[in-house]
Chains A and B, each alone.
Chain A
């Protein structure tokens, strides 16, 4: 079968690949481009581990065909730290012990980033709502909720 060209911006860098038609963005990112930060938990859109940001919106990369992303700007967890300095959300996840096995963490942080991009000072309920598409086995969620609230506070203090 003929390969399909796809070109998009990934974490600020241009990426161009030839992929099999029907390849999910998740598989293209992990297997073709080598960005393994989005995780394949369920491959059916129920766990949130593969979450990425496409043109500013939260998306499940396992339910997105790579060929529909041509021209898009895609952000994954790999793109959050800058010059080795952790993003405030990454810092907060570390500081509040919000990760154990770590498999859900990329999706959680991406979902939280989209929330904070739109709602810099979310209420607890808004955080819960934003994380409700992401499954975690280990933490019981409370440390993750606290991490997002901590990062939001840190952001607003920096902005002030």
Chain B
């Protein structure tokens, strides 16, 4: 009986959203009288930071600082339609809708500015600081604050825009079943190092090294945060978490945090995160969905590492000491 060490690797690709029934998200953008911009969505921020990302996308498109944008989410009674925040689709779908809405609003904004400056709207540009300038003659400018006031109180214009992003439904080909369930894929690869006690079946994850290819990281710190948490969650799924440990038998399922196991701060593996940015063709500013895929590759990597350590293939999650010991027993018997 001994502690045995093993190393496992796994790679995944993971769809951003899914279009099995058509996958739309809509957005509305309008300016307030003082030139702040409001993004209205029905999409939900679960804590992953969607509001921040939508504010950045809107600000980048219109040409204002991010703190000039307010995002209102998650009232399906009053907001434009969204399929929901799931399948890692929030940034990709809502982001594209926000770009479209913000472009339309920007166009109205430039038209009003053009009237005020008595120039052609196509000759105008934004400085990203809240001003609109004549290209090549930046001394001729107007603040977005003044443009919004003019639109509201003088010109009778609504600086607003509508956005709609729809990936149409994909139908399988009758002969082959082939279809296109997603247009955008993120990728990841994980190497996990484990120790397995072949007497107790207990697994200790020593290191987890992850590479994530997630398109453009629109907010690198928030991406890192998501990936670090996701990597930990992947380990947790691999080794601990289940509501039905003897599925399909429902017995002995955890009913509270005493019984539903998750690793605590004392059980952390040494974790490394590397981000590769390869902008996607159809994502907002090249983004893909990093949300769920970041918790996936750790699971097969740990299963492979357990196999490397003690020579048994565990194909049911989580990889509990009981499952390892039963597999070791069966291996010894055969």
Contacts and interface: CB of A to CB of B under 8 A. Distances in A.
B232 interface: yes
B256 A138 contact: no
Secondary structure at chain A's binding surface: helix, strand, loop or mixed?
Answer: loop
Interface string A37-56: 00001101011000000000
Interface string A98-109: 001111000000
18 contacts: A41-B257, A44-B256, A46-B256, A46-B257, A47-B257, A97-B221, A97-B222, A100-B225, A101-B46, A101-B47, A102-B47, A131-B264, A137-B233, A137-B262, A140-B230, A140-B231, A140-B232, A140-B268
Given A101-B46, A139-B229, A141-B232, A132 B266 contact: yes
Nearest to A100: B47
A131 B265 contact: yes
Contacts of B233: 137, 140
Given A100-B48, A140-B228, A142-B232, 11 more contacts: A44-B257, A46-B256, A100-B225, A100-B229, A101-B47, A132-B264, A132-B266, A139-B228, A139-B229, A140-B229, A141-B268
Contact of A46 (B47, B228, B258): B258
Contacts of B271: 140, 142
A28 to B, nearest CB: 23
Interface string A79-111: 000000000000000000100111100000000
Nearest to B236: A140
B268 A129 contact: no
A127 B258 CA distance: 22
Given A42-B256, A47-B257, A97-B221, A141 B47 contact: no
Given A42-B257, A46-B256, A142-B268, A135 B228 contact: no
A142 B231 CA distance: 11
B47 A97 contact: no
Interface string B261-295: 01011101001000000000000000000000000
Nearest to B221: A97
Interface in A128-149: 128-129, 131-132, 135, 137-145
A101 B47 CA distance: 4
Interface of B: 46-49, 221-222, 224-226, 228-233, 256-258, 262, 264-266, 268, 271
B47 A128 contact: no
A47 B224 CA distance: 25
A141 B199 CA distance: 30
Contacts of B232: 139-142
Contacts of B221: 97
A142 B229 CA distance: 8
B143 to A, nearest CB: 28
Contacts of B228: 139-140, 142-143
B224 A97 contact: yes
A101 B45 CA distance: 9
Contacts of B222: 97
Nearest to B235: A140
Contacts of B231: 140
B210 to A, nearest CB: 12
Nearest to A48: B257
Contacts of B224: 97
